[in-house]
Amino acid sequence: MKKVAIAATAIALIAGPTLAGPDDDNLVINDETTLVTETAAPAHMENVDTIYSGWRFRTDETQALQLDDFDNPAMIFVDQAMDLFNTVDGTEGKSCSSCHESVEGFAGLSATMPKVMNGKLTTMEDFINGHRAKAMGAEPWKWSGAEMQSMVALIGLQSRGMPMNVAIDGEAAPYWEQGKEMYYTRYGQLELSCANCHEESYGQMIRADHLSQGQINGFPTYRLKQAKLISRHNRFRGCIRDTRAETFAEGSDEFRALELYVASRSNGLSIETPAVRQ
Ligand code: HEC
Ligand code: HEC
């Protein structure tokens, strides 16, 4: 009980006045694709009835940038990834498009990632770098580098509008358990867990931010503050750092497990990739 009291105090210190929860706007992209931004929480979530996309917590101005692909600043990066897709790289003299006729062939894949492949929990970044090494003889891309996240966004866009649907049973179960434990672990001097902020306190203002449920259905996400696409692991790092804790590395096994667990809390929400956030 003591720990709970400390966490509640920390939240009270950094959080401002309570705002109403998510707003009730509809996310319709390009006047044609309606996305699910609110749905019943997946059965494994014990403390939450309804899950909401982070889009529902943003200001009207930020929300508007996601309504039309011509206004979405992330689309420049998606275009760059399309160029990379057709660019020869590595000792084998191949580009992605030497073997993959079109990116549309990746539709649905992002909804199921991360997933266990050959006995290892595999993210999209792993997939891409593995492929670059094996199929192309090319150097790996940096996890949160522009090339990597642009490619993850391009592949994710092919699944936009489809529901997140990661598997948490079978071979995935031990990773999922590890990620869940991390989600409820209190980090840093502030002794705050992901759950303290994103499960117990969503809807509140924390400094200048309207706290969401910390969903990852829009990643990679264009952050206006950083003026670039940011990876899931980069966001996790930032959030843990905010509790004044040492954090894990991008691409670490810990963050892979956390990614699986957080993704499973988004199961049922539409993929929004690439989303726009403050
Ligand atoms: C030499 C041929 C070759 C090249 C070059 C290549 N791939 Fe692949 N790729 C394959 C084959 C074959 C598969 C299916 C078998 C597998 O999963 O490994 C595949 C599968 C994939 C998948 C998973 C598809 C699915 O639905 O499971 C992704 C994503 C992917 N490739 C992305 C890329 C990207 C991005 C590049 C460029 C950076 C690339 N590939 C370059 C041959 C290639
Ligand atoms: C001190 C409170 C706090 C803690 C603890 C915290 N976050 Fe966050 N997080 C924020 C704030 C503030 C934002 C920006 C506003 C928002 O989207 O909720 C954010 C944003 C996010 C986002 C982006 C959501 C979107 O829609 O783009 C994700 C994902 C996320 N957090 C995951 C996590 C995870 C995983 C943990 C635990 C490792 C965690 N956060 C811990 C405060 C916190």
Ligand 1 site residues (CB inside 6 A) read: 94, 96, 98-100, 106, 109, 127-128, 131-132, 135-136, 151, 155
pLDDT value for 38:
97
Tell me the whole-structure pTM to 2 decimals.
Answer: 0.95
Q: Looking at the structure, tell me whether residues 80 and 8 fall in a common domain.
A: no
Contact present, 164 and 266 (Cβ < 8 Å) = yes
Query: Is 197 considered catalytic here?
Result: no
Going by C-alpha positions, the residue among 140, 144, 154, 172 that lies closest to residue 100 is 154
Q: How far apart are CA 139 and CA 185, in angstroms?
A: 36
Q: Looking at the structure, tell me whether residues 91 and 59 fall in a common domain.
A: no
Q: Looking at the structure, tell me whether residues 9 and 146 fall in a common domain.
A: no
Q: Is 126 a domain residue?
A: yes
For residue 94, report the distance from its CA to the centre of ligand 2, in Å: 39
User: Which domain does 91 fall in, by range?
Assistant: 75-157
- Mean pLDDT to the nearest integer, 94-114: 97
Q: Whose alpha carbon is nearest atom 27 of ligand 2?
A: 54
Domain count, the chain: 2
In the structure, what pLDDT confidence band is assigned to residue 243 with cuts at 50, 70 and 90? confident
For residue 180, report the distance from its CA to the centre of ligand 2, in Å: 15
Report CA torsion sign: 15, 16, 18, 19. negative
pLDDT value for 211:
96
CATH of the domain at 96: 1.10.760.10
Q: Looking at the structure, tell me whether residues 194 and 272 fall in a common domain.
A: yes
Q: Which of 98, 123, 157 is the last residue of a domain?
A: 157
Single out the catalytic residue among 96, 99, 194, 239.
239
Q: Whose alpha carbon is nearest atom 25 of ligand 2?
A: 54
Q: Looking at the structure, tell me whether residues 175 and 244 fall in a common domain.
A: yes
Q: Is 242 a domain residue?
A: yes
Q: Looking at the structure, tell me whether residues 152 and 176 fall in a common domain.
A: no
Q: Whose alpha carbon is nearest atom 32 of ligand 1?
A: 128
Q: Looking at the structure, tell me whether residues 36 and 52 fall in a common domain.
A: yes
Q: Looking at the structure, tell me whether residues 194 and 219 fall in a common domain.
A: yes
pLDDT value for 61:
95
Q: Looking at the structure, tell me whether residues 152 and 183 fall in a common domain.
A: no
- Mean pLDDT to the nearest integer, 49-60: 97
189 to 7, 119, 131, 179: CA distances (angstroms): 10, 36, 40, 21
Q: What percent of the chain has pLDDT over 70?
A: 93
Who contacts 275 (Cβ-Cβ below 8 Å, separation ≥6)?
53, 54, 55, 66, 74, 217, 218, 219, 221, 222
Q: Which of 106, 128, 157 is the last residue of a domain?
A: 157
For residue 14, pLDDT over 90 is answered with no
Q: Is 162 a domain residue?
A: no
- Mean pLDDT to the nearest integer, 68-83: 98
> Residue 147 CA: which ligand is closest?
1
Q: Looking at the structure, tell me whether residues 255 and 273 fall in a common domain.
A: yes
Contact present, 232 and 220 (Cβ < 8 Å) = yes
> Residue 257 CA: which ligand is closest?
2
